[in-house]
Amino acid sequence: MNSQILGLRVAGTLFGLMALAQLLRLLIRPEVLVAGYTMPLWPSALAVVVLGGMSLWMWKLARTPVR
């Protein structure tokens, strides 16, 4: 296996795990305080979309043949 393909798969897996963690935050709805203020949930929804997209992108790149 090529080291570039391995790197893309590792990055895709990490982005996927971070997306799942953000999705879990949306489902559980814990109260997160930042400097005494409650952190809203909409950044987690945005993070799920962005991180999920990046994960899929990395895995798609890992499947394309190297030229």
- Whole-number pLDDT of residue 27: 97
Residue 19 near residue 52 (C-beta atoms within 8 A): yes
pLDDT digits (tens, 9 = 90+) for 1-53: 789 999 999 999 999 999 999 999 999 999 999 999 999 999 999 999 999 99
List, in order, residues 6 or more apart from 26 with CB less than 8 Å away: 41, 44, 45, 48
Q: What is the pTM of this model?
A: 0.87
Q: How confident is the model at residue 65 (pLDDT cuts 50, 70, 90)?
A: confident
Give the Cα separation of 64 and 43 in Å (integer). Answer: 32
Number of domains in the chain: 1
Domain extent at residue 43: 3-63
- Whole-number pLDDT of residue 2: 86
